[in-house]
Structure 1
Amino acid sequence: MCHQGSAPRTALSSSTFSSSPNCQEKLSVGPAARIHKLIASQSDPLLLAKEICALASRHPDDFRHFYASFHSLIIKLGPSRRFSHIFSAVGLPEIALKTFYTILEFNLRPRPQHLNQILHILVAHPHFIRPAFDLFKYAQQYGVLPNTTSYNILMRAFCFNDDLSIAYSLFSKMLTRDVLPDVESYRILIQGLCRKSQVNRAVALLEDMLNKGFIPDAFIYTTLLNSLCRKKQLREAFKILCRMKVRGCNPDMVHYNTVIFGFCRQDRALDACKVLEQMAANGCLPNLVSYRILVLGLCNQGMYDEAKVYVKEMVSKGLLLHFSVVHIFGNGIC
């Protein structure tokens, strides 16, 4: 890291801060005021701070900061709201955490967005997820009240690190502490439940979401449909697909193709045909992937006459036949 001394012994040339990849670092002895001037002239404060810290690390015996250079760095990073980011960018989340605790101990009350910034920094490092959770609880004792974003940051981190129970408890505490969840809150938890194959709980959470007036987005439905099809709960998947439009989210190509593939994978190609027909009726035109999945599914069940109908439909729409379709269909009719 950066070292502080009574007098600087090395100044930075202007090429040190160049963003050009071909630029080579140059050191030249110069007055302390030169460093201060170079720092003050930089337009990108985060890049500036990273380069200074990197230079200081490579030349610990020659490079010394002084009061004016520290002051210039703070002035540059502070107004741009990038000061805490530098600790994360150079791989020092523990210093970012210590700095935030120091702020609290000085009886300064950060805003929720400041807490969220430090939580973002910490959860980016797996070993700092628990310390982030501790800070989340500790900050409340100092009157820093977490908001919905604060909960979402931690819920996402715990879900991605297979601590679903903690994520779920955080979601429950939101409701008891008058912190309203948003669509992102539900999306995080539904995705976490599906990742752990707890798809029935995810469907129940979808219903809870709808009952409370939230409109699920396309990503939530994609996650649920994928999980239901993998768990062979095709009836539930088709029911959710049919209700999407009346619930405020028009199903798109991905949603339809997911269910078509789910039916074909379970040797229910005729049910997949119904999904394709519904798809066209709802104004979502089947694409090459839709037809390829369906034709392969029909051929795998020996329904070559039915497959032939869809092959002709593909050709009439100008869709190029995939090699796999030509191969399996050709073998079946020969």
Structure 2
Amino acid sequence: MIERVFMRRLLHGISKSSTLLGPSSFGEIPLLHFSSSESSHLESQLRHQEQECSSSGYSIGSPARVQKLIASQSDPLLAKEIFDFASRQPDFRLSYASFQILILKLARAKQFTLVDDVIIRLKSSRYSVTPSLFLNLIKIYADVDIPDKALKTFHTMLEFNCKPSPKHLNCILEALVSHRNYIRAAFDLFKNAHRHGVLPNTKSYNILMRAFCLDGDLSIAYSLFNQMIKRDLLPDVESYRILMQGLCRKSQVNTAVDLLEDMLNKGFVPDALSYSTLLNALCRKKKLREAYKLLCRMKVKGCNPDIVHYNTVILGFCREGRAADSCKILEDMPSNGCMPNLLSYRTLVGGLCDQGMHDEAKTYVEEMVSKGFSPHVSVSHGLIKGFCNVGKIEEACGVVELLLKNREAPHSDSWLIILEMICEENDKKEDKSSCLAQRQGGEAIANLHVMQLLHPERLSLKTCSKTARYFMRNWWLVGKSLFMVLRSSGMTKMQCWCRQNHSHVNQGVIWQFLGMAENDAYLKESCKFTEVSLSKEV
């Protein structure tokens, strides 16, 4: 109420100066603060002032000026007050543009009751209404998810004797079919469109065909497709694609392929999405040979296969345990003008690992890393785990080394698997002093050290001590390295763990370290607290 009173006072001051937006007009208006108890009295006073203003010959300005003021308001309710004030002035006629601006401003602010009121007033004004007003209203109602208001607006347009165009019909159809409960209402409107003076076009048919396909009613979609041809409307690429997608959802892949052939015979060039739909459906139905043949035909039929098409087929072959065929497809990609991407390599490497083809998988990992792609942790972990499972520890370490060289951190589980496998492998060897055993022991410690840097939260003392039990007995150099790692990880934790687990890491192991430390100033410095701890235990 306060805003309305202030607005009328503002307009009253503007009408006195006869300049709607002039700065001097605003300067003449006292800025008052009204209380709610005064509002009723001021309301009657301002009405009296309006009457005096009108009888004295003052003018609110031209319709163009009122239109400009309405359009400039950010608050739609204030714009409505200006509209109402102007409409009450004698011998003043609001412009059609003022109606249109206010209606859309109120609609965007979701003041739908006020929108209906202004539309009723517009009808009584006997203006010739343009279809664009109703088109914009329908779009607004569609955006805010009110299909019944959109449908009502379409019928209101007919009441204004405003002939709808196919564009209006398609707009209302899209608004209705976005709700499953309104698909039938959209279909009824579509069937009666000729009575309203509008004939559906190809897009109209496509909208309904897509709706019925998504709703699972493929028979009506097919009848619409055939009806379109009978009415001399040419289906377009989208029409065929919509039907093919509907058929594939119903697992009718063979019929979808036949529809593609019909499409090609009639001179249409299927788009990339049409081929993607069919390739994906064929792969899921395990019709890999047909999928590969279709992939090869694409270029001949005027559509160059892109990365999506290749990746779809690669994934299909890998799912069915035919990763070797996927390798061939990937190798053929560059010659067909399409380079493999990260997903191509990840899919292929994963498929090769699943089939136990770890050496081939490692080759493709090296290739993808050389091209700047980062293997997903699941891919690298699967490859490392695969090598470890078949006893190829050196190859597993090679994968870790490859990742580290390219600044990639292997998953912490990968470190743990390698450490455990190296320890078990060396424990089985009779000649603990062999070069291979020495090197693998060094790799275990190096891996442990890198893991400590990259995954400190996953490096448990149990893991460290387990490695220590395998290597401290014979390789002092390795033991020294491990001891340095443990020191950097927190020797206090190691001390507490040793107190609680004498059966696993006995004091003799610690004394071995101390004996080694006699000749190493660094270790001797590091072990002082251990001596104190052990003396307390003894």
Distance 1:331 1:172, change over 3 A: same
Report the counterpart of residue 132 of structure 1 in structure 2: 186
* One of 229, 239, 249 as aligned partner of 1:195: 249
* One of 228, 248, 260 as aligned partner of 1:174: 228
Deviation by residue 1:187-228 (Cα, 9 ceiling, x = unmatched):
111111112222221111111111111001111111111111
* One of 259, 263, 267 as aligned partner of 1:205: 259
Report the counterpart of residue 236 of structure 1 in structure 2: 290
Higher Cα radius of gyration: 2
Deviation by residue 1:113-170 (Cα, 9 ceiling, x = unmatched):
3433332333233222212212222233566432211211111111122211101110
Distance 1:85 1:285, change over 3 A: closer
Give 1:87-166 correspondences, 5 Å limit: 88=142, 91=146, 92-99=149-156, 110-140=164-194, 144-166=198-220
Distance 1:102 1:136, change over 3 A: farther
Report the counterpart of residue 84 of structure 2 in structure 1: 32
| Contact 2:263–2:270, Cα closer than 8 Å, also in 1 | yes
Distance 1:44 1:304, change over 3 A: farther
Report the counterpart of residue 3 of structure 1 in structure 2: none
Deviation by residue 1:86-134 (Cα, 9 ceiling, x = unmatched):
554562134135336657xx7x864433433332333233222212212
| Cα deviation, residue 320, structure 1 | 2.0
Deviation by residue 1:274-321 (Cα, 9 ceiling, x = unmatched):
110111221211111111111111111011122122122223223222
Distance 1:195 1:102, change over 3 A: farther
Report the counterpart of residue 376 of structure 2 in structure 1: 322
Report the counterpart of residue 281 of structure 1 in structure 2: 335
| Contact 2:279–2:309, Cα closer than 8 Å, also in 1 | yes
CA distance in 2, matches of 1:232, 1:323: 28
| Contact 2:70–2:79, Cα closer than 8 Å, also in 1 | no
CA distance in 1, matches of 2:102, 2:351: 57
CA distance in 2, matches of 1:132, 1:330: 57
CA distance in 2, matches of 1:258, 1:154: 29
CA distance in 2, matches of 1:77, 1:173: 28
Report the counterpart of residue 252 of structure 1 in structure 2: 306
CA distance in 2, matches of 1:70, 1:165: 46
Where structure 2 has 5 or more consecutive residues not aligned to the other structure, the ranges are 1-42, 44-68, 88-92, 388-392, 394-538
| Contact 1:88–1:96, Cα closer than 8 Å, also in 2 | no
CA distance in 2, matches of 1:251, 1:185: 21
Distance 1:96 1:30, change over 3 A: closer
| Cα deviation, residue 56, structure 1 | 3.9
Report the counterpart of residue 49 of structure 2 in structure 1: none
| Cα deviation, residue 236, structure 1 | 1.0
CA distance in 2, matches of 1:250, 1:118: 36
Distance 1:68 1:329, change over 3 A: closer
| Cα deviation, residue 175, structure 1 | 1.7
Secondary structure of the residue that 1:244 maps to in structure 2? helix
Q: TM-score, normalised by structure 2?
A: 0.51
| Contact 2:70–2:102, Cα closer than 8 Å, also in 1 | no
Q: Does 1:48 align with 2:100?
A: no
Number of residues of Structure 1 aligned to a counterpart in Structure 2: 314
Deviation by residue 1:233-277 (Cα, 9 ceiling, x = unmatched):
111111111111111111111110111011001111011111101
| Contact 1:39–1:69, Cα closer than 8 Å, also in 2 | no
| Contact 2:71–2:101, Cα closer than 8 Å, also in 1 | no
CA distance in 2, matches of 1:37, 1:102: 21
| Contact 2:151–2:172, Cα closer than 8 Å, also in 1 | no
Which of the two has greater helix per residue? 2
CA distance in 2, matches of 1:65, 1:98: 13
Report the counterpart of residue 529 of structure 2 in structure 1: none
CA distance in 2, matches of 1:218, 1:45: 44
Where structure 1 has 5 or more consecutive residues not aligned to the other structure, the ranges are 1-8
Secondary structure of the residue that 1:82 maps to in structure 2? helix
| Contact 1:16–1:24, Cα closer than 8 Å, also in 2 | no
| Contact 1:77–1:83, Cα closer than 8 Å, also in 2 | no
| Cα deviation, residue 38, structure 1 | 11
Give 1:221-232 correspondences, 5 Å limit: 221-232=275-286
Distance 1:109 1:32, change over 3 A: closer
Pairwise CA RMSD: 3.7
| Contact 2:352–2:360, Cα closer than 8 Å, also in 1 | yes
Distance 1:45 1:88, change over 3 A: farther
| Cα deviation, residue 76, structure 1 | 7.8
Letter of the structure 2 residue corresponding to residue 171 of structure 1: F
Secondary structure of the residue that 1:319 maps to in structure 2? coil
| Contact 1:46–1:77, Cα closer than 8 Å, also in 2 | no
CA distance in 2, matches of 1:29, 1:102: 27
* Greater shift in the superposed pair: 130-139 or 243-252: 130-139
Report the counterpart of residue 298 of structure 1 in structure 2: 352
Report the counterpart of residue 316 of structure 2 in structure 1: 262
CA distance in 2, matches of 1:89, 1:319: 41
CA distance in 2, matches of 1:229, 1:283: 23
| Cα deviation, residue 70, structure 1 | 7.3
Letter of the structure 1 residue corresponding to residue 285 of structure 2: K
* Greater shift in the superposed pair: 40-49 or 93-102: 40-49
More relative contact order, 1 or 2 (CA 8 Å, 6+ apart)? 1
CA distance in 1, matches of 2:194, 2:112: 38
* Greater shift in the superposed pair: 23-32 or 159-168: 23-32
